[in-house]
Amino acid sequence: MAGTYSRTTTVLVIGGGPGGYVAAIRLGQLGRTTLLVEKDLLGGECLNRGCIPSKALIHVATLYDALRTEGPEVGLRTTGEWQFDLAAAQRWKESVVAKERQGVTSLLKSAGVTVLWGTARFTGPRSAELTAPDGGRERIDFEQAIIATGAVQSSLRGFEPDGQDVVTAYDVLNWTSLPGSVLVLGGGVSGCELGEFLAAAGAQVTIVELMPQLLPGMDPDLARELTRRLEARGVKVHTATKAIALDRTASDVRLTVEKEGTRSELSADRLFVSVGKRPATDELGLEEAGVLRDAKTGFIPVNDRQATNVAHIYAVGDCCQPPMLAHKAYREGVVAAETVAGLSTRFQFQAMPSVVFTLPELATVGLTVAEALAAGHAAREARFPYAALGRAHASHGTDGWVKIVGDDNSGAILGFQGAGTGVGELVGEVGLAIEMGATVRDLALTIHPHPTFSELLQEVALLWLGEPMHVARRVGSRPS
């Protein structure tokens, strides 16, 4: 029943996503009385509307695609046709998400964290008001606070989603029936991942991207590899193409686009708008708390201890600084919690890994060769193909490559990029190598088990050194 209440806590955490719930758990471990406010679902965007549900559905589509395209060649046949039951896949996805969410709930409980449901808004530098789902209001006084409100989907004027003909990633992740055709406006990570999922499931997909390549800002080689594979699947890709206008008719949606001064029209059953996210900081009452945010972007500036300009208020995750990655938010949550508890810690890294869960899977960590050269390194890269790896042949996954970027003066590993089966599971090892200041030879001397995809790292390191074992050494290549 609605009413007005009051309580106090040592630490208030606003938001139960990756940054918030990890911060709360760590605070509990460190003996701090912690109250976490969540307006929706524990786990936030990543668990409920992003990372986990999308990867679950992508997994189903990958299995379906492999059975249809690879099955007959490796001895898997059916007397009928393989069927993609999207409604059944959705039920399985929801079971995965529910189990993960329950896991978060249990971890918070075991850490002694109190969870309150509703929205929190600062009313002063050490107070906030909680509005519960039933309309009840509660004053919360705190000593310290951690803001972890994440981000929300961005939209474009004239292309606003309606949940029916024009949709967001949230809608796509809950479809129980597949449209015949889908236009994807935005060729970033979400647009490419879910666009390919829809194509693998059987829809006709067209991706429209304003920038000259898919996955803007990522290594161009990775973007080209993905574009090639998407087009081979039948996906139509339009880069350097601007969306001008949208016409929603009774039978379809029609998108007017412009490329190199020429306009044309694209049509489909649905338009999926995927133009990025913005920090969810508008309704927090930051002004009342004295917390500054960037007037243009909405991000909350923080230092390397995750502190805002108000010394006892911290911010973590998508609301405070890019890149918007769950694993970044995890670490920031730990740093904020440990700082609150008085421990000596800070958020620092040499290389932030990133994975795109398409086919092929894409991964990158550290610098590209272009970035390394621009930074003044004597940088050089080497590329090793999946086709030269025994495990790749045994797994029917020979399409792809990995490359390593090293410094010719110091031998240090500067970066890694890859496209192929399981490459996202390899990138963490290279991240560790970069963080520890390892050289390319260190990686080459590390014995990797055979037959595994991890051997790609040893092989590409050997190739960079000019000592390849499973590809021919080219005339004039760098000697050891």
Tens of pLDDT, residue by residue over 337-383, are 999 999 999 999 989 999 999 988 999 999 999 999 999 999 999 99
Q: Identify whether the C-beta of residue 187 lies closer than 8 Å to the C-beta of residue 241.
A: no
**pLDDT tens by residue, 131-169:** 999 999 999 999 999 999 999 989 899 999 999 999 999
Percent of the chain clearing pLDDT 70 (strictly above): 98
Q: Measure the CA–CA gap between 67 and 82, rounded to whole angstroms.
A: 8
DSSP codes joined into one string, 407-465: ETTT-BEEEEEEESTTGGGTHHHHHHHHHTT-BHHHHHHSPPPTTSTTHHHHHHHHHHH
Q: Measure the CA–CA gap between 441 and 439, rounded to whole angstroms.
A: 5
Q: Measure the CA–CA gap between 258 and 205, rounded to whole angstroms.
A: 18
Q: Measure the CA–CA gap between 337 and 359, rounded to whole angstroms.
A: 37
Mean pLDDT score of the chain: 94
**Exposure b/e, 429-454, CB count within 10 A at least 16 = b:** bbbebbeeebbbbebbeeebeeebbb
**Cis amide bond preceding 323, omega within 30:** yes
Q: For residue 476, what pLDDT is reported? A: 46
Residue 336 is encoded by which pair of tokens? 């904020």
Q: Measure the CA–CA gap between 84 and 59, rounded to whole angstroms.
A: 12
Percent of the chain clearing pLDDT 90 (strictly above): 89
Residues with Cβ < 8 Å from 255, sequence gap 6 or more?
A: 183, 185, 208, 243, 245, 246, 247, 265, 266, 267, 268, 271
CA-based torsion, 38, 42, 43, 46: positive or negative:
negative
R_g over Cα of the chain = 24
Task: Tell me the domains of the chain and their CATH numbers.
Answer: 4-152+278-340 (3.50.50.60), 166-275 (3.50.50.60), 354-465 (3.30.390.30)
Q: Measure the CA–CA gap between 61 and 53, rounded to whole angstroms.
A: 12
Angle between helices 220-233 and 189-201 (to 10 degrees): 20
With cut-offs at 50, 70 and 90, classify the pLDDT of residue 465.
very high
Kindly give the pairing relationship between strand 362-366 and strand 204-208. unpaired
Closest CA to 367 of 380, 357, 384, 358: 380
Q: For residue 472, what pLDDT is reported? A: 87
With cut-offs at 50, 70 and 90, classify the pLDDT of residue 68.
confident
Whether residue 2 is predicted with pLDDT greater than 70 in this model: the reply is no
Q: For residue 81, what pLDDT is reported? A: 83
Q: Measure the CA–CA gap between 395 and 48, rounded to whole angstroms.
A: 31
Residues with Cβ < 8 Å from 260, sequence gap 6 or more?
A: 240
- Mean pLDDT value of segment 318-343: 96
**pLDDT tens by residue, 177-191:** 999 999 999 999 999
CA distances from 440 to 376, 389, 399, 403, 468 (A): 18, 19, 24, 12, 13
Q: Which residues are catalytic?
A: 450
**Exposure b/e, 48-82, CB count within 10 A at least 16 = b:** bbbbbbbbbbbbbbbebbbebeeeeeeeeeeeeee
H or E, element range at 234: none
Neighbours of 292 (CB within 10 A): 13
Closest CA to 112 of 3, 231, 27: 27
Lowest mean pLDDT among 193-202, 338-347, 467-476: 467-476
Q: For residue 3, what pLDDT is reported? A: 52
Residue 373 is encoded by which pair of tokens? 């050269």
Entry pTM: 0.93
Q: For residue 478, what pLDDT is reported? A: 59
Whether residue 480 is predicted with pLDDT greater than 50 in this model: the reply is no
Residue 309 is encoded by which pair of tokens? 């300009």
Q: For residue 6, what pLDDT is reported? A: 86
Q: Measure the CA–CA gap between 278 and 324, rounded to whole angstroms.
A: 9
Angle between helices 86-110 and 18-29 (to 10 degrees): 30
